[in-house]
Amino acid sequence: MTAAYGNRIGGASLSAGTTFDSVNPAHPTEVVGTFPDSDASAVGDAVAAAAEAQRRWAEVPVPARGDLIARAADVIAARKGELARLVATEAGKILVEAGGDVQEAVDMGRFVAGQSRGPLGTTVPSELGRKMAYTTRAPIGVVGMITPWNFPVAIPSWKVFPALLAGNGIVLKPSEHAPLCAERFAECLEEAGLPAGLLNVVHGHGDPGAAIATHPGVGAVSFTGSVPTGRKVASAAMAVGPKVVSLELGGKNAMVVLADADLDLALDGALFGAFGTAGQRCTSTSRLVVHEAVADELVSRIAERAAALRLGDPTDPATDVGPVIDRWAGERIVAMVDRAVAEGAELVLGGSAVDVDGCEGGTFVRPTVLRAEREVSIARTEVFGPVLTVLTVSSLDEAVDVVNEVEYGLSAAVYTRDVNEALRAVDAFDTGIVYVNAPTIGAEIPLPFGGTKHTGNGFREAGARGIEQFSQVKAVYVDYSGRLQKAQIDTNPLP
């Protein structure tokens, strides 16, 4: 019998009237769990619970908050195998990538815990004697989080751990495609001793996310997902009053390969970047921008290797590429490829869905390679699937133009043996992340994650700046002179 789960509100599991099933994308008839399809009233209850718990949590010393986060990371690490298998089953990521997803949560927890004993502000010399001037960070109160399915353990950790360290209560709305992963993540924090009500999980489709964005008791909203949905979230949130809104949206990431590049290395990077997670990462390598001198050789080698990738059940260690998340996604990806061919792109490999033995009903898209001109729509539009579009250039300057001409600015990479060209590319790419001799995926916890242009709105996740979207800067002046001091009036009196 399929297990049924409720919303996690105030430490209790609460059911709702209607429900939905989370299914295994490789075996859609296999129900992973049944969850409430919640409405705004559930969000209201969750916000109230978070607000009540937050008042007590804000009084806990920051290092003690960090200790709890460290314990949560240890719990996740101890359950890594179980969680990785769940990620593979519910989100369709192959096992090794699912393990990486869980490890990111472990690493994030340990990194954030370490920040609890580091500086959370700055101290500056006052222009007056016997006066201190410094900044600190104060909690926002209740923060709402809307997370996607493709990193169903990692991305909640990027948001939840910094928000807890900052002293907030949380309402999390996970993707309807991976709700059990969010349940298990919250369960790990509960096992580590997180007070009831600090992390509330509300399941459902669109209604809970909209209610989080517009609830007056939510002081900050952190969203990861598509550009159209992100715009709706931001617009709705700001319409009800000032809120902190953090958006992590799409990408059209390019890997530039110059004529002097190590083609063996570039080949491995292109395959992993484009077809890892079936191309369903916001940082996936969607464009290969390659110098004309090596384009034919590299494309031929990519097509040969990509054709040999094994599609199958993501829990099978022999699988290279798992399913896309659902049939709608598969139909959209194939339609984009068909349109590109109609616009003049050359289909080198793939371009269609395929049935996989043992995975009846699952939607698998063949690894696809296209050669196209810059004007073709698929060269500018996020695909979110295993599709690599190859664009040929004659110089680094032309490559930079190609990288920067799209509306997104998340990640870019350059392959070259020339350090001068590499650093010139680093300076010129209008993206939040740049890799040299590595694909466009593979961000590490200590550095900030995020992009420019329509990829986001300026906030960054992870790294030392990850706490910024979940806290408010407070300037503090302590005058111990025993007399009235008047700042600039005293320091620079009129002549």
Q: Give the active site residue among 97, 248, 461, 468.
A: 248
Q: What are phi and psi of 340, to 5 degrees?
A: -60, -45
Check residue 241 and give its pLDDT: 83
Provide the angle, in degrees to the nearest 10, between the axes of the packed helices 40-57 and 206-214: 50
143 and 269 part of one domain: no
225 and 280 part of one domain: no
Give the chain's mean pLDDT.
Answer: 96
pLDDT at 287 over 90: yes
235 and 129 part of one domain: yes
State pLDDT tens for residues 239-266.
988 899 999 999 999 999 999 999 999 9
Q: Is residue 263 part of a domain?
A: yes
228 and 280 part of one domain: no
For this structure, is 248 an active site residue? yes
237 and 335 part of one domain: no
State pLDDT tens for residues 72-109.
999 999 999 999 999 999 999 999 999 999 999 999 99
Mean pLDDT of the 327-347 span: 98
State pLDDT tens for residues 182-227.
999 999 999 999 999 999 999 999 899 999 999 999 999 999 999 9
260 and 111 part of one domain: no
Q: Is residue 67 part of a domain?
A: yes
187 and 106 part of one domain: yes
Could you tell me the CATH number of the domain that includes residue 85?
Answer: 3.40.605.10
Q: Cβ neighbours of residue 444 under 8 Å, at least 6 residues apart?
A: none
pLDDT at 431 over 80: yes
356 and 411 part of one domain: yes
Q: Give the chain's domain count.
A: 2
Q: Is residue 398 part of a domain?
A: yes
Between CA 179 and CA 201 the distance in angstroms is: 9
DSSP state of 464: G
Q: Is residue 490 part of a domain?
A: no
Q: Is residue 443 part of a domain?
A: no
Between CA 406 and CA 197 the distance in angstroms is: 42
Could you tell me the CATH number of the domain that includes residue 381?
Answer: 3.40.309.10
Q: Contact at 8 Å (CB) between 13 and 7? A: yes
For this structure, is 282 an active site residue? yes
Instruction: Give the pLDDT band (50/70/90) at residue 466.
Output: very high
Q: Give the active site residue among 104, 282, 359, 461.
A: 282
Select from 181, 15, 173, 202 the least CA-distant residue to 104.
181
406 and 267 part of one domain: yes
Check residue 255 and give its pLDDT: 98
Q: Is residue 446 part of a domain?
A: no
Burial class (CB in 10 A: 0-12, 13-18, 19+), 328: exposed
pLDDT at 1 over 80: no
pLDDT at 39 over 80: yes
Q: Is residue 442 part of a domain?
A: no
189 and 277 part of one domain: no
Q: Is residue 420 part of a domain?
A: yes
User: CB count, 10 Å around CB of 124?
Assistant: 10
In the chain, pLDDT over 90 holds for what percent of residues?
95
204 and 330 part of one domain: no
Mean pLDDT of the 471-484 span: 96
State pLDDT tens for residues 117-159.
999 999 999 999 999 999 999 999 999 999 999 999 999 999 9
- Enclosing domain of residue 368: 253-436
Check residue 2 and give its pLDDT: 81
Strands (E), 50-130: 123-125
Instruction: Give the pLDDT band (50/70/90) at residue 349.
Output: very high
261 and 409 part of one domain: yes
